[in-house]
């Protein structure tokens, strides 16, 4: 079979799908979590079609894997009221619990979450088409993230468990919650990225309304009971539905204190504008990016190609950190392209459960049409598809396409493709990629490939002021999760990392007193008799 024939025959017949992957499929999810109850929704539901299609006698068709509730504004407001009541202006059970107690709740949650692993991973694979192996990795990374967050919170609390005396004033400074947090994550990491805002928001004492992404909602079904059982009522509320219907009313209520959104700047800007009290709203945003790779003449080509393939095509390029445009020194462009095409053509592709699979069907409806449009636009304006099978479509599958030479008149030069299209352009002067970065609306990361320390150093210094991470001879990526993850311009607001996230979902607040005898006696009594959870010197061991 030729490569193109293999692509055209990649979808399985239903009978060929391993039976173990089909338990709980279809999943008719009717529950949503509000005020400590899993309520049953009998109204309309969203049909969930997997990016995995199935072959039949005619063309392949999307595989039906379940349904989830399409709630309305009324249920969104119930969730909001529950979160507002649970916070109770900072007087609720959860925001006034000690850090140790909140950590204990979270540890119980981790235990329950691990029990649900197999189901969560399976839904993740079916809902977004991520390989089974990467779906498992996403789950494990999330557990690690929670455990690291708890360790970081203990450290933070230890530092705060002492008094500071300055200019005759005794102070104790701690971090306190902000209020009601609205959390929304993206489809590409529907578990991990959602939890990177949810977990720190919760553990710092806020109450949360969580709306899972459109693709990646069913995987919350196996976790709902754990959320209900572990946290006090109203502290975590999970609603489902169309974002554009249920989210704007929440923002317009003025009762959301923090918007934690990993999504697009368009959505973030529209939501921020709805809030009637902008100064009361904090935003923690992870948004788009168009990270470039710059391949210098001195680059080790094997290494550059390996990393560019990973950077451009891991999870089919559906990562905000993906490499989305490659600038290659003109002198090595032909060799680079030839080897890149060989590497791309050799990538294992197929169904997410197949051992070693790398390229899988894309998650969003209509995505293959969009990617084809980007390709045709580039081809009409003078680019060629370097790998002949590039851009071959079968249902929801799009074989990665390398486009060359790309230039600024083409859409793919500017638009974040978020899919398996690799635009490449040659440069003679290093000013070309630098100008691209200066003029880009985004500023997340860059990868530079080369071996001359002088040349690399000359690039690093200007580039760190354009983006927030310069990767040397390696693809762009978020991890390790202890490193700061952020961006300039339209790429982010606030910084996420295990420890930074604890800060962005909290505010420093302090108790201060002039160092008089009376005040010293009061503070000593409060601390000695453990009368306050805030004014305390208990040290978490």
- Where along the sequence are the contacts to ligand G3H (CB under 6 A)? 188-189, 193, 319-321, 477-479
Q: Which CB, 11 or 189, lies closer to ligand G3H?
A: 189
* Pairing, β 236-238 against β 258-262: unpaired
CB closer to ligand G3H out of 387 and 477 = 477
Determine phi and psi for 531, rounding to 5 degrees: -80, -20
User: How far is it, in rounded angstroms, from Cα 372 to Cα 391?
Assistant: 7
C-beta closer to ligand G3H: residue 189 or 370: 189
Shortest separation between residue 479's beta carbon and ligand G3H, angstroms:
5
Q: From CA 158, how far away is CA 154, in angstroms rounded?
A: 6
Can you give 498-526 as a three-state secondary structure string?
Answer: HHHHHHHCEEEEEEEEECCHHHHHHHHHH
Written as six digits, the tokens of 443 are 């500023």
Least CB distance to ligand G3H at residue 336 (A):
23
- Of 190 and 426, nearer to ligand G3H (C-beta) is 190
72 Cβ contact list (under 8 Å, min separation 6): 43, 241, 245, 246
DSSP conformation letters of 475-506: -----STTS-B--EETTEES-BSHHHHHHHTE
Let me know: does 172 contact 204? Beta carbons within 8 Å.
Answer: no
DSSP state of 537: -
Q: Minimum distance from CB of 213 to ligand G3H (Å)?
A: 12
When the beta carbons of 310 and 526 are compared against ligand G3H, the nearer one is: 310
CB 481 → ligand G3H: shortest distance, Å? 8
- Tokens linked to 237: 């509320």
* CB of 21 vs ligand G3H, minimal distance in Å: 24
Looking at the DSSP bridge assignments, the partners of residue 37 are 34
Q: For residues 447 and 476, is the Cβ–Cβ distance under 8 A?
A: yes
Quote the least distance from Cβ 148 to ligand G3H, whole Å: 14
Cβ 498 to ligand G3H, closest distance in Å? 14
Q: Cβ closer to ligand G3H: 265 or 321?
A: 321
Pick the closer one to ligand G3H by CB: 67 or 416. 416
Q: How far is the CB of 393 from ligand G3H (least distance, A)?
A: 23
Q: With respect to ligand G3H, which residue has the nearer C-beta, 180 or 201?
A: 201
Task: Evaluate whether 240 touches 215 at the Cβ level (below 8 Å).
Answer: no
- Within 10 angstroms of residue 519's Cβ, the number of other Cβ atoms is 14
> How far from 96 is each of 120, 183, 315, 437, CA to CA, in Å?
32, 21, 41, 46
H helices present in 208-300, as ranges: 224-230, 243-252, 265-274
Instruction: Give 106 or 323: the residue with its C-beta nearer to ligand G3H.
Output: 323
> Nearest distance from residue 524's CB to ligand G3H, in Å?
47
């Amino acid at each position: 079979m030729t490569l193109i024939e293999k692509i055209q025959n990649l979808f399985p017949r239903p009978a060929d799908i391993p039976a173990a992957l089909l338990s709980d499929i279809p999943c008719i999810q009717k529950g949503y979590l509000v005020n400590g109850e899993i309520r049953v929704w009998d109204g309309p539901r969203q049909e969930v079609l997997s990016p995995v299609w199935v072959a039949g006698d005619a063309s392949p068709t999307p595989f039906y894997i379940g349904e989830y509730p399409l709630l309305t504004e009324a249920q969104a407001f119930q969730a909001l009221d529950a979160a507002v009541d649970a916070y109770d202006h900072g007087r609720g059970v959860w925001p006034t619990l000690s850090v140790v107690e909140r950590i204990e709740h979270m540890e119980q949650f981790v235990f329950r979450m691990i029990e649900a692993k197999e189901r969560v991973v399976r839904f993740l694979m079916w809902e977004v088409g991520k390989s089974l192996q990467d779906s498992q990795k996403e789950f494990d990374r999330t557990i690690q993230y929670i455990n690291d967050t708890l360790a970081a919170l203990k450290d933070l609390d230890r530092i705060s468990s002492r008094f500071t005396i300055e200019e005759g004033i005794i102070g104790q400074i701690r971090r306190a919650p902000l209020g009601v947090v609205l959390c929304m994550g993206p489809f590409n990491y529907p578990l991990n990225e959602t939890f990177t805002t949810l977990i720190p928001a919760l553990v710092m004492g806020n109450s949360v309304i969580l709306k899972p992404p459109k693709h990646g909602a069913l995987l919350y079904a196996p976790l709902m009971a754990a959320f209900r059982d572990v946290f006090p009522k109203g502290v975590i509320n999970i609603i489902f539905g169309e974002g554009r219907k249920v989210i704007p009313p929440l923002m317009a209520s003025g009762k959301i204190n923090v918007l934690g959104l990993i999504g697009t700047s368009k959505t973030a800007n529209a939501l921020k504008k709805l809030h009637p009290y902008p100064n009361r709203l904090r935003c923690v945003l992870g948004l788009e990016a168009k990270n470039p790779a710059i391949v210098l003449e001195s680059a080790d080509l094997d290494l550059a190609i390996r990393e560019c393939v990973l950077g451009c095509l891991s999870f089919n390029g559906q990562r905000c950190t993906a490499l989305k445009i490659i600038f290659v020194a003109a002198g090595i462009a032909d060799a680079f392209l030839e080897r890149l095409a060989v590497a791309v053509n050799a990538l294992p592709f197929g169904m997410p459960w197949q051992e070693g699979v790398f390229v899988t069907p894309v998650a969003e409806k209509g995505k293959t049409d969009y990617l084809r449009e980007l390709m045709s636009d580039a081809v009409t304006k003078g680019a060629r598809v370097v790998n002949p099978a590039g851009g071959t479509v079968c249902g929801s599958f799009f074989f990665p396409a390398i486009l060359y030479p790309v230039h600024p008149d083409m859409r793919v030069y500017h638009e974040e493709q978020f899919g398996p299209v690799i635009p490449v352009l040659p440069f003679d002067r290093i000013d070309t990629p630098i100008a691209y970065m200066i003029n880009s609306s985004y500023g997340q990361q860059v990868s530079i490939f080369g071996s001359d320390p002088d040349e690399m150093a000359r690039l690093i210094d200007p580039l760190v002021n354009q983006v927030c991470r310069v990767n040397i001879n390696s693809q762009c990526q978020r991890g390790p999760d202890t490193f700061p993850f952020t961006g300039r311009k339209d790429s982010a607001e606030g910084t996420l990392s295990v420890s930074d996230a604890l800060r962005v979902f909290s505010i420093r607040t302090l108790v201060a007193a002039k160092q008089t005898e009376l005040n010293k006696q009061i503070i000593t009594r409060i601390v000695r008799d453990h009368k306050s959870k805030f004014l305390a010197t208990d040290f978490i061991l």
